[in-house]
Amino acid sequence: RRAWLTAIAGTAALPDATLGQIKPAITLRFSHVVAEETPKGLAANRFKMLVEQRSGGRIGVQVFPNAQLYGDQDEMQALQLGAVDMVAPSLSKFGRIGLPEFELFDLPFLFDDLAAVRRITQGPLGQKLLERLPRQGLVGLGFFDNGFKQMSANRPLLEPKDFVGLRMRVQASRVIAAQMRALGARPVTLAFSETRRALASGVVDGTENPVSNFWTQAMHEVQRDLSLTEHGYLGYAVVTNQRFWQSLALVDRQLINLAMQEALTFANRIADAQNDNALEALRQTGTTRIHTLSSDQRAYLRRAVQPVQQQLANRIGPAWLNALRVALL
């Protein structure tokens, strides 16, 4: 009897070692556009590990990084059609699927720090935003950070006059496009996976992103200057296909959701460090000059982009903006 018990205990401890051999009953395909060594890439891998471990291999997660499967243009559509089951686009990319209120996160100089971001993403406003997703056939599992964006080009971008005439790659967000126009630049919307090539060939002159994205796409090889403007926030929402989600048993949904919440907490914890490490690595290569702004220069930038909020108020929705103001008070 004792031997039998030990044998059972032995197998209970086994799934880890035998994961590779168990054929998953459910396979969840998670597609994203960035490198694995980024907050999003690491969060996706952590999620995979947690789900596979806790389900004893019964639920498998396939992660497709680097726009291997789908780029910005089509990942959302692929999700809606059920060609993939989970994506985590930046909040800037929801306007294009009829949810322009998500672009409120793109308003320049909106958040003083990540604590201010949390007041939105983990408060009632964040909840209300997630509740908008089912109208597009999606279910939102939560928000997470990359961090604050910096500006790059082949010249320092410290004051509005430095932007004049530059073609700046932007995500498909009207708010970000308006921000670039307010600075005197010409916004060019391109998929993330096309950005490095466009910078290399001169199709665009510069771009904005947190340093971890800049570094892991090797943009430093094609951009001489990085200016630490910290002018805007880049975060993500994890979304899944509503039909897929409803097809899962409740216990599986709970397991997946819990694993995701832990992966998102993990991502929020490491995002800053990932960006700091990328900046340090960048300093060491010496390919790109790194510029810090004086408080006056930052104030000039802030003043130049102030009209954006008014210009885009109708697109985002005045009620959303009011709720935002109250939450950030």
Q: What's the residue count for the chain?
A: 329
> 220: which DSSP letter?
G
Q: Kindly state whether residue 150 participates in binding ligand LMR, applying the rule CB under 6 A.
A: no
Shortest reach from residue 34's CB to ligand LMR, in Å:
5
Tell me which of 31, 55, 66, 209 binds ligand LMR, using CB under 6 A: 209
Tell me which of 66, 213, 229, 297 binds ligand LMR, using CB under 6 A: 213
Tell me which of 31, 55, 146, 275 binds ligand LMR, using CB under 6 A: 146
Q: Are residues 105 and 233 in contact, defined by beta-carbon separation less than 8 angstroms?
A: yes
Nearer to ligand LMR, 80 or 146 (CB): 146
* Cα torsion angle, 245, 250, 251, 255, sign: positive
> 23: which DSSP letter?
P
With both helix axes pointing from N to C terminus, report the angle between 114-121 and 318-328 in degrees, rounded to the nearest 10.
130
105: helix, strand or coil: helix
Nearer to ligand LMR, 171 or 241 (CB): 171
Token reading at 44: 């996706």
Tell me which of 55, 171, 216, 309 binds ligand LMR, using CB under 6 A: 171
Q: In what order do the strands lie in the sheet with 86-87?
A: 59-64, 26-31, 86-87, 233-241, 138-148
Tell me which of 80, 90, 152, 223 binds ligand LMR, using CB under 6 A: 90
Q: Kindly state whether residue 215 participates in binding ligand LMR, applying the rule CB under 6 A.
A: no
Nearer to ligand LMR, 216 or 297 (CB): 216
Q: Which residue has the tokens 């990085």?
A: 226
> 24: which DSSP letter?
P
Total residues in contact with ligand LMR, by rule CB under 6 A: 10
Shortest reach from residue 236's CB to ligand LMR, in Å:
7
Q: Kindly state whether residue 268 participates in binding ligand LMR, applying the rule CB under 6 A.
A: no
Give the x/- contact pattern for ligand LMR in 14-43, rule: CB under 6 A.
-------------------xx-----x---
Tell me which of 192, 214, 215, 320 binds ligand LMR, using CB under 6 A: 192
Shortest reach from residue 214's CB to ligand LMR, in Å:
10
Shortest reach from residue 89's CB to ligand LMR, in Å:
7
Other CB atoms within 10 A of residue 26 CB: 17
Shortest reach from residue 92's CB to ligand LMR, in Å:
6
Q: Are residues 200 and 222 in contact, defined by beta-carbon separation less than 8 angstroms?
A: yes
Q: Are residues 105 and 304 in contact, defined by beta-carbon separation less than 8 angstroms?
A: no
222: helix, strand or coil: coil
Residues that bind ligand LMR (CB under 6 A): 33-34, 40, 72, 90, 146, 171, 192, 209, 213
